[in-house]
Amino acid sequence: MALPVRKATRARPAAPVALLVLAAVGAAFFVIPLIGLVLRTPWAATWDQLKSPEVLTALRLSLLSSVSATAIALVFGVPLAWTFARLTFPGRAVLRAVTVLPMVLPPVVGGVALLLAFGRRGLLGSWLATTFGIHLPFTTAGAIIAETFVAMPFLVITVEAGLRSMDTRFEDAARTLGASRWTVLWRVTLPLIRPSLVAGAVLCWARALGEFGATITFAGNFPGRTQTMPLAVYLALETNPDAAIVLSLVLLAVSLAVLIGLRDRWLGAS
Amino acid sequence: MPWKAVAAFTAAVALCSSCGNSPPSASSSSAASGTITVFEASSLTAAYTAIGNDFQKNHAGTMVKLIPGGSSTLVAQIQQGAIGDVFASADQPNMQKLVDAGLVAGSPSIFAHNRLEIVVGAGNPKHITGLSDLARSGLVVVLCAPAVPCGRYATQALQKAGVSVKPASQETDVKAVVSKVALGEADAGIVYVTDIKAAGATVEGVEIPMGANVVADYPVAVLKDSQNAPLAKAFVSYLLGAGQSTLARYGFTGP
C-alpha cells in the first residue's frame, strides 16, 4: 500500500515533547544571559555613553578591523578551502588540521604564536622590520592580523563544506562546453556555493568582531589604534561597569542586526 | 548594582581558567579538615604558594587553598557569594569595597608593600637608567592601562618625575607588560618589583628613586562568612609575622 503524501506533516513535523523541552532549555541558555544584560542596562545613561568619543573610536576601529579581517580571509581562505575540497596531496589532513587549529587554540596562545612569527624578533617579523621597516605589533594592522588568524578558519571550513556538498556535474558540464578553469570557478562554482560563502564570511566577521585574546596579546591595547570594542569592554569592567554593559549591548545589537539581516536576505532561512 | 551579573561572570571565567582548583563553593572549609580558602591578588601567587606550604608544615593537618585573580575580579566574586576565608588585595580601594559591603570580619591589615620598577630586557640593551629615558623617541614603551592599579601608579610616577611618555600599548594587566618586554616586543615598561623578580632571567629591573616611586599597599582581611575563622586568623597572623621573610624574598617590603 502506498503511503499518502502528507504535505502538512512535511511542513510542520510532529515534534516529540522531550525534544522540544531540550530545545527550550538550549535556547534559554542563550536567551537568559542576554535578558540579564538587558535588564541591568542603565538605560538613562546609555545615550551619554554611546556618544562618548571613546566608545565611537572603539566601535569604528572594531568595524574597520573586523571587515578588513573578513576581506583578507575571503581572499586567502576561499582558495585554501578549494584546495582542501578538491585536491589530494600528501599531508593534506595535517595541513587542514593546522589551518583550523585557531578555532580551538586559546586565543592568547595564538597571540603569542603570532608574536613569535610577526613580532619584532619573530621569524618573519624581524625580516619585515629590517627589510621594509614594517612593525605589526601595537598597530591597527596587527589587530587585523590577530582577528584574521582567529576568524579565518570559520570561513575555510564553511566554504570547504559547501564545495564538498555541491553537485560537481555543473562544473563538468561547463568544462565540456569549453569554459576555462577560471570561468568555471567564477561563473559556476562560486555562484553555486554562494550561501556557504556568505555564511562563512558572516561567521568569520562575527568571530573577528568579538576577538579579544589574540588581539590584546599580539597588538596590545591603545585607544584608536588597537583598542577594539571587546578590549574597551574588558577595561571598562574595571572602572565603569555600567559603560561596559552599554558597550556590550552596542556590540550585541550590531552583530544581531547583521546576523538576522543576512540570514533572511542570503541564507534562504525562513 | 547593575553590573554584578557581568562582573560575576568574568570572575567565574577568571577563576576557572587561572587556578584549576575546585570552585570555592565546593571547598567546604570545615573546621575538622582544617582547610581555608584564600583569595589573593595575582601578584601574590608565587609568594603565597610558598607561605601556604610553610603554614601547612607549621600547622599539621591544615590545608591552604589559593584562589588567585585580579583584585577587582576577586571582590566581585566575593560580593556574589563565593565562599572563602581570607582576602588579600593588591590595593586599598578593592579591599574597601568589601569593608563597605560588610563582608570583612574586623579591619584589614597592611601586610606588605610593593614598589614600581622599570622593566627592561635582559642586559638592558637600550641602556635605560631612569624614567626620563622612557620619553626617548624610537623606544617602544608599554604601560598598564590607566583603569588598572599598575597603570594608575605608573601614571603617578611619571607625573612625579615630570616625564611624558607615549606608550605603544596600555596593557590590561601587569603580567602582559612583563611578557611584552620579555618577548622583545617592547623595550621598557613600568611594573612592580615583584613581577620582575618573578619573571626570572629574561628581564631585569631599573630602579625608580623613592622620590618618584609609588608604594602600593597590600591589605589582608578575614572574611565575615569564613567557615573556619580561627584558622583564617592564624593564617593572617602568620602572614604578618613569620611569613614576612618569604614575602621579602619575593620582593615585597614589610608593613
Q: Where are the domains of chain B?
A: 4-113+216-249, 115-215
DSSP annotation of A188 = I
Separation between Cα atoms, residue A77 and residue B251, nearest integer Å = 49
Among B162, B192, B156, which Cα is nearest to B177's?
B192
Q: If you average pLDDT over every residue of chain B, what do you get?
A: 86
Q: Is B5 in contact with A37 (Cβ distance < 8 A)?
A: yes
A216 lies in some domain: yes
* CB-based contact A138 B169, cutoff 8 Å: yes
User: Which of A237, A242, A248, A251 has the most B C-beta neighbours within 10 Å, making it the best mutation to test the interface with B?
Assistant: A237
**Same topology for domains B4-113+216-249 and B115-215, yes or no?**
yes
Percent of chain B with pLDDT over 70: 87
- Which has the minimum average pLDDT: A40-44, A60-64, B13-17, B40-44? B13-17
Length in residues, chain A: 270
B210 touches chain A (CB under 8 A): no
On whether residue A2 sits in a domain, the answer given is no
Q: How far apart are CA A47 and CA A74, in angstroms?
A: 36
Q: Does the structural domain B115-215 have CATH classification 3.40.190.10?
A: yes
Count CB pairs under 8 A between chains A and B: 85
The reply to whether A255 falls in a domain is no
Q: How many domains does chain A have?
A: 1
Residues spanned by the domain of A91: 64-223
For chain B, the straight-line distance linking the first and the last C-alpha, in angstroms and rounded, comes to 34
Structure confidence at residue A242 (pLDDT): 78
Kindly indicate the confidence band of residue A223, based on its pLDDT and cuts at 50, 70 and 90: very high
- Copy the grid coordinates of residue A43: 538605560
Q: Which residues of B touch A251 (CB under 8 A)?
A: none
DSSP symbol at B123: T
C-alpha cell at A146: 590577530
Cβ distance B203 to B182 under 8 Å?
Answer: yes
- Please indicate if any CB of chain A lies within 8 Å of the CB of B16: no
Shortest Cα distance from A48 to chain B (angstroms)? 17
Establish if B142 touches chain A: CB-CB under 8 angstroms: yes
- Which secondary structure element, helix H or strand E, spans residue B222, and what is its range? strand B215-223
For testing contact with chain A, the best of B18, B126, B165, B170 (most A CBs within 10 A): B170
What are B171's three cell numbers? 596593557
Question: Exposure pattern of A211-235 as b/e (b: 16+ CB <10 Å)?
Answer: bbbbbbbbbbbbbebbbbbbbbbbb
Tell which wins on pLDDT, B74 or A270: B74
- CA nearest to B202, candidates B125, B122, B127, B124: B122
- Is residue B193 a contact partner of residue B134, using CB atoms and an 8 Å limit? no
The confidence score (pLDDT) of residue A100 equals: 92
Read off the pLDDT of residues A24-54 as tens digits, 9 standing for 90 and up.
999 999 999 989 888 888 888 778 877 888 8
Q: Which residues in A lie closer than 8 A to residue B7 (C-beta atoms)?
A: 237, 241
B43 DSSP 8-state letter: G
* Burial (0-12, 13-18, 19+ Cβ within 10 Å), B200: exposed
* B57 Cα to chain A: minimum distance (Å): 36
In A, which residues are within 8 Å of B169 by CB distance?
Answer: 138, 219-222, 226
- Give residue A259's pLDDT band: very low, low, confident or very high (50, 70, 90): confident
CA distance B142 to chain A (A): 9
Question: Which residue of A lies nearest to B149 if distances are taken between CA atoms?
Answer: A238
**Mean per-residue pLDDT, B229-236:** 94
Angle between helices A140-165 and A92-100 (to 10 degrees): 130
- Name the minimum distance, in Å, from the CA of B146 to any CA of chain A: 9
Q: What digits encode the pLDDT tens for the residues A165-209?
A: 999 899 999 999 998 999 999 999 999 999 999 989 999 999 999
Nearest C-alpha neighbor of B115 from the set B236, B46, B212: B212
Give the dihedral sign, CA B41/B46/B47/B49: positive
Question: Are B10 and A119 within 8 A, CB to CB?
Answer: no
- Strands B188-192 and B104-121, by their bridges, are antiparallel
Asked if B171's CB is within 8 angstroms of A221's CB, the reply is yes
- Band the pLDDT of B25: cuts 50, 70, 90: very low
Domain B4-113+216-249 CATH assignment equals 1.20.1090.10: no
Do the Cβ atoms of B2 and A40 come within 8 Å? yes
Cell numbers at residue B50, please?
610558598
Q: What is the pLDDT of residues A92-102, one digit of tens each?
A: 999 999 999 99
- Whether B125 contacts chain A with CB within 8 A: no
pLDDT over 70 at B15, yes or no: no
Percent of chain A with pLDDT over 90: 66
Give me the mean pLDDT over the A236-263 stretch. Answer: 81
CATH number at A196 reads 1.10.3720.10
Q: pLDDT of B190-211, one tens digit each?
A: 999 999 998 889 999 999 999 9
In this complex, is the C-beta atom of B183 within 8 Å of any C-beta atom belonging to chain A?
yes
Tens digits of residue pLDDT in A105-128:
999 999 999 999 999 889 999 999
